[in-house]
Amino acid sequence: MAEEVSSQMNSLSISETNPSSSATISLVSGDDIVFKVEPTIAKEMETVQSFIDETDGKITTIPLPNISSHDLPYVIEYCEKSIAGKITKEFEAEFVKKLNNEEVKELFLAANYLNIKKLLDFLSQVIADRIANKSVEYVRRYFGIENDFTPEEEAKLREELAWTFTGVDPDDEDEN
Amino acid sequence: MAPKLLSGKRQKEVENHGGVTDRMSSLPDSVLCHILSFLPTKTSVTTTSLVSRRWRHLWQHLQVFYFAHDSGESVQGSKKFEKFAFFVNAVLAFRKSRDIRKFELSCDIQWSNHRCDCAEMWTRAAINPYLEELTLSMKNCFNTEPVLLPRSLLNCTNLVSLSLVGDIRMNVQGFGVRFPSLKRLKLDADIVDSEIVLLSACPVLETLQHNYFRPGTWAKHHVPPSSQRLNFTDGSFSWTFLEVKRWELLGIIGNLQSMVEACIDFFPAQITESADPILNGIRDPFNGLDIQLHHSTSKVKLYYYGKLHQPPKFCLNVINTIF
């Protein structure tokens, strides 16, 4: 991973010394770092591509205020693999191994903002895997949601759920 | 006092994580629903609906459902299935979005006629013009009629992925079947009445996984035994027919226009050794076929370097034949 980041940084420093060749697209992260990417990468990012299309390709520097320079290389890496048709289960497993919960959320928000369908689906699966078989409280914490049920309401709701979805006779199988 | 604590905690969260959790919580319903659509339906309904008022009804807008039931048939088994059936019925009844894009039903139980009726009814509920993925796995249907898929499935022209495993039947012959979007197909043997008709109806198929390949069922329709050539049936796919050791017939389909990989199961892993003579038998008369054996997976890759401009790639996973 460190290597990939540093290679990303290399390409970054090169691109900074060589002002833009018209073919590349400059993505500017929220903390003002410029990432030069091939137009094919930009195509993967629907939000970026529609911005380019709207200006008839005249504007090739695109500010992405919601995405930090920490997250953008991950997004670019995924898009590169996707274009190369090299998204494999192994790659995805390695990719996600590098990410903690907060980073997964950050990347999910980035993928949602950039409208990258494959990445969004992949990260949705990652999040789903991380909250599956967890308690309601864990899900609340994960998504930063305050419980706005009163304890009575919640108890009643649990009872209703048990009845509605497992038939009369709620019992030991509720956790399944 | 309490609200103050809460805001202090939130402040800390913002400092620590740049407010990422807050931004997650303010995502629109459609995006949260998208995440839910990757969870087992049971979790979406019974866990995430308790998260908050806003989340309570999110699952009702799901267009993706995964139902899985796996019970060793014990004394409790029957009761367990009743509960499962109750759950599936309730979910299908309470959902607000009528369109189902993805439906997965997996039941590993002993089937009774009543249970088959349930499975058939659920499948009917899933069939709609927007259906993109259908995965059905019905195992252990001893002593019962297999689940017959409704003909309306053949009208699901947006279907991209179809996976049918277990005791399921689908009749396609004579119905003018057409799956113009189907890219992935997984089938057990004896599910469709004619694999040829089905495959002819899938012009953009990319991945075919066929378990329990039985040469006879593939061969008898189209290719005369004397023919050992690459044949085109109706132009939508090609067919290589091989005669191995005089009595054993092996058909290989390929070049389904955009097919990337085909897996056909042909013999169980424990008799992999027996494959070698067969494969040599295949290799000899067909110099154009480059056969690679992968003992570890019992998979065999076949590459055809024929007259076609782009050599189609076959992956032959050999299982279950009579030697």
Taking an 8 Å cut-off on Cβ atoms, the answer to whether A102 and B17 are in contact is: yes
Looking at residue B71, what is its pLDDT? Answer: 65
Looking at residue B143, what is its pLDDT? Answer: 64
Those residues with Cβ within 8 angstroms of residue A50's Cβ, 6 or more apart along the chain or in another chain: none
Which of B13, B20, B31, B37 to mutate to test binding with chain A, by most A CBs within 10 Å of its CB?
B20
How far off is chain B from A21, nearest CA to CA, in Å?
34
Which residue, of B62, B88, B113, is where some domain finishes? Answer: B62
d(CA B197, CA B173): 6
Which residue, of B18, B35, B62, is where some domain finishes? Answer: B62
Taking an 8 Å cut-off on Cβ atoms, the answer to whether A68 and B18 are in contact is: yes
In a domain, B154, yes or no: yes
In a domain, B144, yes or no: yes
In a domain, B179, yes or no: no
**Can you list the residues of chain B whose pLDDT is less than 70?**
1-18, 71-77, 140-143, 196, 210-323
Looking at residue B115, what is its pLDDT? Answer: 83
* B238 and B307 both lie in a single domain: yes
Q: Does A106 touch chain B (CB under 8 A)?
A: yes
* B39 and B120 both lie in a single domain: no
Taking an 8 Å cut-off on Cβ atoms, the answer to whether A173 and B80 are in contact is: yes
Taking an 8 Å cut-off on Cβ atoms, the answer to whether A165 and B87 are in contact is: yes
Say which of B27, B38, B52 has its CB closest to residue A147: B52
Chain A environment of B55 (Cβ under 8 Å): 145
* B33 and B114 both lie in a single domain: no
Answer yes or no: are the C-beta atoms of A132 and B43 closer than 8 Å.
yes
Say which of B17, B35, B91 has its CB closest to residue A127: B35
Taking an 8 Å cut-off on Cβ atoms, the answer to whether A143 and B50 are in contact is: no
In a domain, B301, yes or no: yes
Domain spans of chain A, in order of start = 2-131, 136-167
How far off is chain A from B48, nearest CA to CA, in Å?
6
* B258 and B161 both lie in a single domain: no
Q: What is the pLDDT of residues B122-179, one digit of tens each?
A: 999 999 999 999 999 987 656 677 888 999 999 899 999 999 988 899 999 888 888 9
Total number of domains in chain B: 3
In a domain, B10, yes or no: no
Range of the domain at B102: 63-170
Mode of pairing for the β-strands spanning B238-244 and B248-254: antiparallel
d(CA B110, CA B296): 33
Q: Does A50 touch chain B (CB under 8 A)?
A: no
Share of chain B above pLDDT 70, in %: 55
d(CA A4, CA B99): 42
Kindly report whether the global pTM for this prediction surpasses the value 0.80.
no
Q: What is the pLDDT of residues A58-106, one digit of tens each?
A: 888 999 998 999 999 999 999 999 998 888 889 999 999 999 999 999 9
Looking at residue B18, what is its pLDDT? Answer: 52
Taking an 8 Å cut-off on Cβ atoms, the answer to whether A149 and B52 are in contact is: yes
The CATH topology of domain A2-131 is: Potassium Channel Kv1.1; Chain A (3.30.710)
Looking at residue B160, what is its pLDDT? Answer: 96
Looking at residue A120, what is its pLDDT? Answer: 96
In a domain, B80, yes or no: yes
d(CA A143, CA B21): 6
How far off is chain A from B147, nearest CA to CA, in Å?
24
How far off is chain A from B41, nearest CA to CA, in Å?
11
Query: Partners of B314 in the beta sheet?
Result: B302
Looking at residue B76, what is its pLDDT? Answer: 60
Looking at residue B4, what is its pLDDT? Answer: 41
Per-residue pLDDT in tens (0 to 9) along chain A, 176 residues: 444 444 444 444 444 434 444 578 999 999 999 999 999 999 999 999 998 888 887 888 999 998 999 999 999 999 999 998 888 889 999 999 999 999 999 999 999 999 999 999 999 999 999 999 899 999 999 998 999 999 999 999 998 888 777 665 544 544 44
Q: Does A155 touch chain B (CB under 8 A)?
A: no
Say which of A109, A173, A176 has its CB closest to residue B24: A109
Q: Which residue has the tokens 């012959």?
A: B173
Q: Which residue has the tokens 């459902």?
A: B65
Taking an 8 Å cut-off on Cβ atoms, the answer to whether A139 and B48 are in contact is: yes
| ipTM given for this complex | 0.80
Q: Which residue has the tokens 């979005």?
A: B97
d(CA B291, CA B269): 18
**Distance from chain centroid for Cα B129:** 18
Q: How many CA atoms lie within 13 A of B302 on its CB side?
A: 26
Identity at B134, one-letter amino acid code = L
